Structure 1
Amino acid sequence: MGSTGSGKSRLSIDIASHYLGEVINSDKMQIYKGLDIITNKVAETDRRGVPHHLIGEVEPDVDFTAEDFCMAATSAIERIVELGRVPIIVGGSNSFVEALVQNPSVEFKSRYEPCFIWLNVAPPVLDTYLSKRVDDMVRGGLVEEVKAVFSPNLDYNRGIYKSIGVPEMDAYLRAERMVDYIERETLLKEAIDDIKANTCKLASKQVGKIETLRNKLGWDMHQIDTTPAFEKCGEEADAAWEMLVKKPTFRIIDSFLT
């Protein structure tokens, strides 16, 4: 668990690679097909052969609810356990995880004992990283990706089109062919700034939700500070990740599994 950009996907693959696990996605936007840049899906080439479930499986305009997630995740967990492997649920949509664990009709608590790992990054460091990540997404084709699905009648309250990065582009895409270069660039910059601001707001909201699950519902959270790995670059960042994130997490899991 953790906010967007905190390193959840990377750590889940580390865990799955070490403990013969499989990843179950609990990010409500990554569940949908398409918009891979906007939703920041883990590319096949970065999954290191680890099987991923509930990622890019649902049609874009379907409303996939927490109840739908509970059914799909429970089914995936059962299949993974039957294979003698470890199910690893990862994603920023904490409402989905809460529904899975707390909903009495799912009977999760009576069947499984969860180990909660919370990756946390200091807000100023995370905000800087998220801003840079949006810039990288723009360079990687974010604008073109949204343009390919845009229509004047697009419903931003439905399915994948609720993703941060889609509604923010609306004004720019509507005016793109009707304004001059300077105004077009101004609208694009405003859209990108809005994406950055809304991503940072989402991250703060996600942390608040995790704190509620810990403090009000009594979830036993193992908190890992990933800040040092985000403050460094290149090999130093990888070394910090290994020593301060990956190894402590493995110690937690080793203790949990014994």
Structure 2
Amino acid sequence: MLHVGRDGEESARGRERTAGRGRSAQRNQVRTLVMAIAKVVFVLGATATGKSKLAIALCKRFGGEVINADKIQVYAGLPVITNKVTDDERAGVPHHLLGVVRDLGADYAPEDFRRDAAAAVAGVLSFGRLPVVAGGSNRYVEALVDGDGGAFRGAHDVLFLWLDAEPRLLEWHASARVDDMVHAGAVAEARDAFRGDADYTCGVRRAIGLPEMHDYQRLLAAEGGGAATDAELAGELARALWEMKDNTSRLARAQSEKLRRLSGLNGWDVRRVDVTAVLLRMADGTAFRDSTWENVVWEPCEEMACRFLGNYPTPPP
């Protein structure tokens, strides 16, 4: 039997304390490394699901800035047709890559977005703020996250929040938003942007509303013997608006299907948030008279963001 004297006991205890301090230091080092990983929140969803509202709310809560990921909103001008957030809606939150491409016919490819968005994210992080990437152009998001050999994912810890809804309701709501655009001046905006020889396959002219209203604007611009009657104009405008609604509905469906595919990819930990109840309230006109959005969207998203960010510094309430 081995007998250990007092000196040996003290020596053993000292070694244990030293080992314990070493393990504690290792844990602290790991914790520091984890906290040092740059964190980025993505707000995804089809058109008309409320991505901008959530992104801005997250930025206000956690001291962040929005990086736009909408392939049409990167272009300057046409604020109504491109559904850009207004200055009031931004609530003082800085937005990046919103209306920055001045050449309205230029092709802003996913690779261009990956380069510029990565730079914007780095800039936001350099000021100790939270980047919130928000938009419905899933090819842009996929290019940023998985492009360039997955460099972005390797350097960042990401949280994906996906706003989704019952498909038929979402498609109806998306198409109904066309009426809001018309009331906000979309027809006049399309008239100002009209060009008889416009190319609707590239640049901002791909935006829903411009190609659909081309024939109406052409009739409206005709003079002399080619001028259209009021009845012809009204009929052509009605056709254009119907086509806008149909195409918006199709867009919502395609975006949702793409997000379902992305959510199944390896490494894409996408958190789905069902906004069906909010859209129902909007349909019956009670959306702004109750707390449905706060209960259904904001509270779960805030909680997920808090858990994701951990000790991330947040501004005082």
Q: TM-score range by the shorter chain?
A: over 0.9
Deviations 1:143-197 (A, max 9, x none): 1101101111111112100111110011111122422111110100000000000
Deviations 1:208-256 (A, max 9, x none): 1111111244511100011111111346665000011000001111111
- Name 2:171's counterpart in structure 1: 127
Alignment of 1:224-239 (within 5 A): 224-232=273-281, 233-234=285-286, 238-239=290-291
Task: Return the match for 1:18 from 46, 50, 61.
Answer: 61
- Structure 2 matches for 1:1-258, cutoff 5 A? 1-59=44-102, 60-105=104-149, 107-176=151-220, 177=222, 178-232=227-281, 233-234=285-286, 238-258=290-310
* Deviation at residue 106 of structure 1 after TM alignment: 6.3
Whether the 8 Å CA contact 1:120–1:223 is kept in 2: the answer is yes
Q: 3-state SS of the aligned residue for 1:198?
A: helix
Distance 1:104 1:131, change over 3 A: closer
Instruction: Look up the equivalent residue of 1:118 and give its one-letter code.
Output: W
Give the secondary structure class of the aligned counterpart of 2:161: strand
In structure 2, what is the Cα distance between the partners aligned to 1:27 and 1:221? 19
- Per mean C-alpha deviation after superposition, the further-off stretch among 102-111 and 54-63 is 102-111
Supply the distance in 2 between the matched residues of 1:9 and 1:27 (Cα, whole angstroms). 11
Letter of the 1:247 counterpart: E
Assess, with a 3 A threshold, how the Cα gap between structure 1 residues 238 and 91 changes in structure 2: closer, same or farther.
Answer: farther
| Distance in structure 1 (CA, Å) of the matches to 2:140 and 2:211 | 23
Q: Residues 231 and 237 of structure 1 are in contact (CA less than 8 Å); yes or no, is this contact kept in structure 2?
A: no
Identity %: 39
Q: Name which one, 1 or 2, has greater alpha-carbon Rg.
A: 2
Report the 3-state secondary structure (helix = DSSP H, G, I; strand = E; otherwise coil) of the residue aligned with 1:63. Answer: coil
Contact 1:161 1:167 in 2 (8 A): yes
Query: What is the aligned residue count?
Result: 258
- Counterpart CA distance in 1 for 2:175 and 2:47 is 12
- Structure 2 distance, partners of 1:161, 1:140, is 19
Q: Moved runs in structure 1, 4+ residues, more than 3 A?
A: 233-238
- Structure 1 unaligned residues grouped into runs of 5+: none
State the TM-score, normalized to the length of structure 2. 0.79
For 2:244 and 2:149, how far apart are their aligned partners in 1? 37
* RMSD across aligned positions (CA): 1.4
Q: State the shift of 1:125 in Å.
A: 2.0
